[in-house]
Amino acid sequence: MKTNASWESPLCTEKRNFMCYKQDQTDLTFSYHLITENKTWYEAQSYCRKNYTDLVSIRDQEQNEAVKIAGMKSSDFFWIGLLRDDWEWADGGRSAYRNWDTGYPRTPSTQPNCTQLNVNGKWQNVICSKVVAAVLCYNSKS
C-alpha cells in the first residue's frame, strides 16, 4: 500500500515495512499494527503469523481507510496481505507458504522454472531442463 492508500504490485523479494492485524476473539474486532522493519513479503507474512494474526487483508473501502490511517505513522510504502503469485505445487495444492533463499525467486526466463531445495533448506528457482539433483517423492497412501 502506498501512503495515499492506493496499491502497487512490487516484487515480493523487495524489503518494506508491513501491516499486521490482530483479531480479538471475543468481539471479533481488528487492530492494525504497522511494523517498521524492512522485510520481504514472505518474511513479513511469517512475522505477522508468529506475533499477530496475519498480514492485513482488506475487504472493503472502510478497512482500506482504517489501514491507511494506521499506516500514516510511516512515510514509506508497506506490505499488505494481497499476493499475486503464479508458483503452484505439482499436485495442484495451494499454499502461501514460501521459503525462498535470499535473491530468489529470480525473474523467470521464457523456459519453465522449477524449484529446488538448497543445502540450507531454502528454495531456489532454476530452469527445469538444467536441474541435476536428487528427487524426493512421497506416497499419500497409508
Nearest to 54 by CA among 72, 81, 84, 29: 81
| Whether 43 contacts 96, CB under 8 Å | no
Higher pLDDT, 105 or 55: 55
User: Which residue from 42, 49, 38, 47 is spatially nearest to 12, judged by alpha carbons?
Assistant: 42
* Residue the block writes with cell 512490487: 10
Task: State pLDDT tens for residues 48-101.
Answer: 999 999 998 888 788 888 888 888 877 788 888 887 667 767 766 666 677 778
pLDDT value at position 49? Answer: 93
Top pLDDT among 2 and 82 is at 82
Structure confidence at residue 131 as a pLDDT band (50, 70, 90): low
Confidence at residue 48, expressed as pLDDT on a 0 to 100 scale: 93
Per-residue confidence (pLDDT) for residue 47, from 0 to 100: 95
Residue 7 has pLDDT above 80, yes or no: no
Q: What does the domain layout of the chain look like in residue ranges? A: 16-79, 99-142
Q: Which DSSP string corresponds to 34-79?
A: EEEEEE-HHHHHHHHHHHSSEE----SHHHHHHHHHHHTT-SS-EE
Each residue of 12-22: pLDDT tens digit?
778 888 999 99
Asked if pLDDT for residue 4 goes beyond 60, the answer is: yes
